[in-house]
Amino acid sequence: MENQSKLTIQPGSTIGMVGGGQLGRMFAVAASAMGFRVIILCENPNAPAAQVAHQSVIGDLNDMEAVERFAKQCDVITLEFENILAQTIAKCSHHAPTYPSAQVLATAQNRLIEKSTLRDAGLPVTPFCSVSDSASLIAAGEQLGWPMIVKTATSGYDGKGQAKISDPSEADSIRWDQCDQWIAEKCIGFDLEVSVVVARTVAGETSAFPVFENAHRNHILDLTIAPARIDLSLANRAIEVAKSAAETLDVVGLLCVEFFVSNDEVMINEVAPRPHNSGHLSIEGCETSQFEQHVRAICNLPLGSTELRSNAAAMINLLGDLWQTDGSPPLWSEALRDPSISLHLYGKADAKPGRKMGHMTVTGNSSEELSQRLLEARRKIGD
């Protein structure tokens, strides 16, 4: 117990957040409520997280001088997205405990390494092959079957850097010069997509949120409900796999594991070592939000309850498409006529199509009813 307490970062200490987007913003709000001081390392003084943090260090995330100025002021450091140079996180770790580690980051940044690591640990992943040109893609198709999803091994998110290839004649449509490494994945005929957000502390304690059910639109998460409409045994299996993935990768903090559900089985699609868009409903929907849980995990504090506060909860994304062409925001009062809806806006100055500008959540008795209420609320403001 004494050794564990030495690893604990107490409220009143300073937490550093690398990245200034909406995940950093919501993290800073949760950490501040617990009595921590939050410093943000970001490139824009008006970034969403910088607007609510106690202090910001403004500089390129690859500028080691700025990174050092930031890290020297922190008692513990975390990050809001995985596309950060491992060198930046390694530099941070010279000055304060940093989670997730540079090693975890390097694994999560490369789909091939990530999938191979999880597969080799015996966890269920979508079948895949490494490909580098048309010939290797055609060979992969013979092994995995057509169609396939071809992705860049690095830097892709929200559907970017990937394409569906239906047969060998389309192999030459890939611009192979865009990336050094590619991965081809079997196209899974799934029943639905779900995710599990699991927290893991420095001491190895783990706790998972209820399984979230996700619906996407144009490759971007659109709507999340909890609990997912799957059998309890399958939900427990997903949680078990997610916890095993966190232990396999040695994650400290949060890990979101996204699954395909097919024929009463779960299969890992991808993972993200950070808070996740699908977990936003936990702010109103769960006893402990994913952001407070992230604080607890990296500070080695006891993890909070992940129980739902009501029978069901739902979250819907608000993209820049809702804004007028002249930049005028939607009439939020129309959405808020439903008194149970909670609105979260991220403080982004420029609305662009496909850009995540905020979200709305609601809790109640039925996930189907909550989904319809959120869809109707968003329709009233321009969807």
CATH classification at residue 166: 3.30.1490.20
pLDDT digits (tens, 9 = 90+) for 304-342: 999 999 999 999 999 999 998 877 899 999 999 999 999
Q: Looking at the structure, do residues 9 and 89 belong to the same domain, yes or no? A: yes
23: domain range?
2-98
Residue (of 343, 348, 350) closest to 378 by Cα position: 343
Mean pLDDT over 80-87 rounds to 88
Answer whether residue 110 is part of any domain.
no
Same structural domain for residues 291 and 169? no
- 157, pLDDT greater than 70: no
Domain boundary among the residues 146, 166, 186 is at 186
pLDDT of residue 325: 81
Q: pLDDT tens, 93-123?
A: 999 999 999 999 989 999 999 999 999 999 9
**Residue reference for tokens 């997280």:** 49
Do 251 and 344 reside in the same domain of the chain?
yes
Contact indicator for 78, 17 with CB cutoff of 8 Å: yes
Task: Strands of the chain (E only): list them.
Answer: 14-18, 37-42, 55-58, 76-79, 128-131, 148-152, 162-165, 182-186, 192-200, 206-208, 212-217, 220-226, 253-262, 265-272, 312-319, 342-345, 356-364
Q: Kindly state whether residues 345 and 213 are assigned to the same domain.
A: yes
User: What is the CATH classification number for the domain harbouring 269?
Assistant: 3.30.470.20
Question: Is the bond into 100 cis (omega within 30 degrees of 0)?
Answer: yes
The answer to the question of residue 15 being in a domain is yes
Sheet holding 162-165, edge to edge: 128-131, 182-186, 148-152, 162-165
Q: Same domain for 197 and 309?
A: yes
Residue 119 lies in a domain: no
Determine what percent of the chain is predicted with pLDDT higher than 70.
Answer: 97
Give the count of domains, the chain.
3
Q: Is residue 118 in some structural domain?
A: no
- The answer to whether 312 touches 368, Cβ cutoff 8 Å, is no
- Shared domain check, 84 and 17: yes
Segment 165-170 shows an average pLDDT of: 92
Residues 200 and 182 in one domain: no
Task: Kindly state whether residues 237 and 280 are assigned to the same domain.
Answer: yes
Per-residue pLDDT at 10: 97
Q: What is the pLDDT of residue 36?
A: 98
Judgement on whether residues 229 and 369 belong to the same structural domain of the protein:
yes
Interval 49-80: pLDDT, tens: 999 999 999 999 999 999 999 999 999 999 99
pLDDT at 383 over 90: no
Contact 317, 220 (CB under 8 A): yes
37 and 180, same domain (yes or no): no
Residue 111 located in a structural domain: no
The predicted model scores a pTM of: 0.94
Report the chain's mean pLDDT, rounded to a whole number: 94
Q: Which residues of 29-41 are buried (b: 16+ CB within 10 A; e: fewer)?
A: bbbbeeebbbbbb
| CATH code of 56's domain | 3.40.50.20
The verdict on residue 113 lying in a domain is no
Looking at residue 160, its pLDDT comes to 63
pLDDT score at 330: 94
Answer positive or negative: Cα dihedral of 360, 83, 102, 63: negative
**Least trusted range by pLDDT, from 53-62, 84-93, 159-168:** 159-168
Q: What is the pLDDT of residue 61?
A: 94
Same domain, 177 and 40: no
Q: 202 and 323: one domain?
A: yes
pLDDT (0 to 100) of residue 2: 40
Does 352 reside within a domain? yes
Nearest to 266 by CA among 245, 300, 288, 241: 241
